[in-house]
Amino acid sequence: MFNSSAVTGNTGFGNRIFRYEVVGLRQSNESDKSDYAIRRSGSVFYNVPYARMNQFMQEISRLGGKIISILPITAETAAQASVIPPTPIVEAATPAPEPTAKKAKADVPVNTYRPNNPLISKVISNEELVREGGEGTVKHIVFDLEGSDLTYVEGQSIGIIPAGTDDKGKPHKLRLYSIASTRHGDRVDDKTISLCVRQLEYKNKETGEKVYGVCSSYLNQLQPGDEVKITGPVGKEMLLPDDPTATIVMMGTGTGIAPFRAYLWRMFKENNPDYQFKGLAWLFFGVAYTPNILYKEELEEIQAKYPDNFRLTYAISREQKTADGGKMYIQGRIAEHADELWNLIQQKNTHVYMCGLKGMEPGIDEAMTQAAAKNGVDWTEFLKGTLKKEGRWHVETY
């Protein structure tokens, strides 16, 4: 179901309540004023309305506390919401959870198929994702894995070796593509793998002639039943943490949605006993026009069904404007929500994922630099010394 609020980035969170787990608080506002020692006695929980999140976080920070997790809670418990200054509703003796940080990567499959011995797979389907009025062509392509040894997890990529030879008569080199399906595939039978491929098209600056990319054009014209050479899987940078209560912030442009589609299916469309997602997933998705919103129906259906756990924020550059009248690129939306994002990434179980064209990186870096500066922090140092060190900042741009 279409949710118009998604387009503006307002996801209707205003009435929602979130449960904060905090450690390391000073005794109270009073003791704070007297500079008392910080009490470090396990976790304290607060229910906070969405509208007061920023204020609450500032208060916690002033009291020397550290927010360990933020979870959306249901409407029934909303009445218990504490006001600021915070009053604990539950005090638990349990220690703060370990940071989700680095997933055990050893059991993630890599290079099952290499270029000298690729998997020969068949195309099951190849469908256009760009709707009328959109720019370019992007295909959702499903390949058959029946009888093969290819297994993979969400966030990995595969290689495709296009048919034919290059201008020197040598076989084409492989190109990498992010996997757009979960490990169970679109049919949830463990027998398929899907890609989301944009046909590269640009104008040669000298001749003005249109140039089409070799592999993306090859993939674009494939028909069901055609054979394709596949290598991989590869990549461990974009893996999801095991923690089903984590906050997963996704920033994607164009086909950068591919791994995020896999995450969202794993979180919300499949019923995985070992991964019942209860955290918060927030997708920032940048495209040129509304018809270029890839997987729009799927995304909005998930949002309508799980409004407490999935937040969807579009940046539609040719249709939406920033407050100062500029085009709304993804970094514009990141800048709009920079304070909230800044607060979220202070939590040890928040992971940020970026995927899409390389050009998206500097703008996001700039927005986060400003948010960090407001809090007296050097973004470059925080990124390197905290987020990357803890394995919570994941980038795959191309």
CB of 254 to ligand FAD, least distance (A): 8
Question: Closest Cα partner for 181 from 38, 320, 298, 55?
Answer: 298
> Across-strand partners of 232?
113
398 classed as catalytic: yes
Q: Would you tell me the crossing angle of helices 257-264 and 296-305 to the nearest 10 degrees? A: 40
Please give the residues from 149 up to 168 whose contact with ligand FAD meets the rule CB under 6 A. 157
The span of 19-27, 140-148, 190-198, 260-268 binding ligand FAD (CB under 6 A) equals: 190-198
Q: Which of 36, 202, 212, 398 is catalytic?
A: 398
Instruction: Single out the residue of 81, 176, 188, 395 in contact with ligand FAD (rule: CB under 6 A).
Output: 176
Which tokens is 145 given? Answer: 């894995």
Measured from the CB atom, the residue of 107 and 209 that comes closer to ligand FAD is 209
Beta-strand ranges (E) seen in the chain are 17-23, 44-49, 66-73, 90-91, 119-128, 138-144, 157-161, 175-178, 192-198, 201-203, 210-212, 227-234, 247-253, 280-287, 310-316, 350-356, 393-397
The span of 1-9, 86-94, 192-200, 305-313 binding ligand FAD (CB under 6 A) equals: 192-200
Question: Can the peptide bond before residue 241 be classed as cis, meaning omega within 30 degrees of 0?
Answer: no
Measured from the CB atom, the residue of 9 and 159 that comes closer to ligand FAD is 159
According to the binding rule CB under 6 A, does residue 36 interact with ligand FAD?
A: no
Task: Establish whether 5 is an annotated binding residue.
Answer: no
For residues 234-249, one letter each, b for 16 or more C-beta atoms within 10 angstroms of the residue's C-beta and e for the rest, the string is: bbbbbbbbebebbbbb
396 classed as catalytic: yes
Task: Establish whether 222 is an annotated binding residue.
Answer: no
Question: Closest Cα partner for 295 from 254, 353, 328, 332?
Answer: 254
Q: What gap in Å lies between CA 282 and CA 286, rounded to an integer? A: 13
CB-closest chain residue to ligand FAD: 213
Q: Which of 121, 178, 181, 194 is catalytic?
A: 178
According to the binding rule CB under 6 A, does residue 181 interact with ligand FAD?
A: no
Instruction: Single out the residue of 178, 182, 292, 303 in contact with ligand FAD (rule: CB under 6 A).
Output: 178
Task: Establish whether 317 is an annotated binding residue.
Answer: yes
SS3 of 171, please?
Answer: strand
CB of 204 to ligand FAD, least distance (A): 7
Is the Cα dihedral 37, 43, 49, 53 positive or negative? positive
Per the CB < 8 A criterion, the answer to whether 111 and 362 are in contact is: no
According to the binding rule CB under 6 A, does residue 200 interact with ligand FAD?
A: yes
Instruction: Single out the residue of 175, 261, 266, 296 in contact with ligand FAD (rule: CB under 6 A).
Output: 175
Distances (CA, A) of 107 to 98, 153, 271: 21, 10, 22
CB of 175 to ligand FAD, least distance (A): 4
CB of 280 to ligand FAD, least distance (A): 25
Task: Tell me, residue by residue from 246 to 285, as one string, x for binding to ligand FAD by CB under 6 A and - for no binding.
Answer: ---------x--x---------------------------
Instruction: Single out the residue of 131, 202, 224, 380 in contact with ligand FAD (rule: CB under 6 A).
Output: 202
The position carrying tokens 């741009």 is 397
Please give the residues from 288 up to 317 whose contact with ligand FAD meets the rule CB under 6 A. none
Q: Which of 46, 113, 152, 177 is catalytic?
A: 177
Residue 173 φ/ψ, nearest 5 degrees? -80, 160
Q: Which residues bind ligand FAD (CB under 6 A)?
A: 157, 175-178, 196-198, 200, 202, 213-217, 255, 258, 396, 398
Residues annotated catalytic, as ranges: 177-178, 355, 396, 398
Cite the annotated binding site for NADP(+) by residue number.
Answer: 178, 198, 255, 317-318, 327, 356-357, 396
Which residue numbers belong to the known binding site? 178, 198, 255, 317-318, 327, 356-357, 396
